[in-house]
Amino acid sequence: MLSFLDLLILIAFASDRFDDESELYKAIKHGDDNAFKKFFDAHYDALFVFLRNRNISREVAEDLIQKAFLYIWEHRKRIKPDLSLKAYLYRIAYTRMLNYLEQEPNHTTLEKHVNGTKKTPLDTIEYKDLRTAFEKAVSDLPERRRAVFESCFIEDLTYKETAEQLSISVKTVENHMALAFKDLRKELEIFNKI
């Protein structure tokens, strides 16, 4: 499961959703090169930043990203169009990063790479401020949007499970999640400038 800080980074770098991601995912599942390229182009840069923010070298980050996308392409028949392929991509890359760090002979501690360099008192204060701002931003979401966001992103339920739990359509869940990401990015943009 992703840490709180990972969650915030994903929100900060989440690109706007495609008009119909499930159609894109279906096309990838059926071997559409153009759809896969669209997916690749939409997520490569943010995934690169995500890994670089974990003190992964440029070369290793590029390699991990290539392997994550390759894994998705090789296993495209397993894609479930109603689930987030982007979240799956990030989990693959994150897991591969952890595996790399465990095997890297020169790393001091896994925590240093995952959580960054040694924390200063200022870092601790900024983290607390960020966490407080995030919790407030989530609580300020409209009630239904907050319920969808908490279900999908915090409880880690799929869009389909969330739709069933809240008695709404999967498309409504997708719309609420896109709007929640947009709202949270706006509320937390000041932390992106620090």
CATH 1.10.10.10 fits 119-194, yes or no: yes
Contacts of 131 (CB under 8 A, 6+ apart): 4
Would you tell me how many other CB atoms lie within 10 Å of the CB of residue 194? Answer: 7
**pLDDT tens digits along 114-144:** 444 555 665 566 667 777 888 888 889 999 9
**pLDDT tens digits along 44-87:** 988 888 888 888 888 999 999 999 999 999 999 988 877 788 88
Full DSSP string of 7-52: HHHHHHHPPPPPTTHHHHHHHHHTT-HHHHHHHHHHHHHHHHHHHH
- Residue 74, classified by CB atoms within 10 Å of its CB into exposed (0-12), middle (13-18) or buried (19+), is exposed
Spell out the domain ranges in the chain: 1-117, 119-194
Structure tokens at 60: 């290793």
Place of tokens 């690749």: 40
CATH code, residues 1-117 = 1.10.1740.10
Rounded to two decimals, what is the model's pTM?
Answer: 0.49
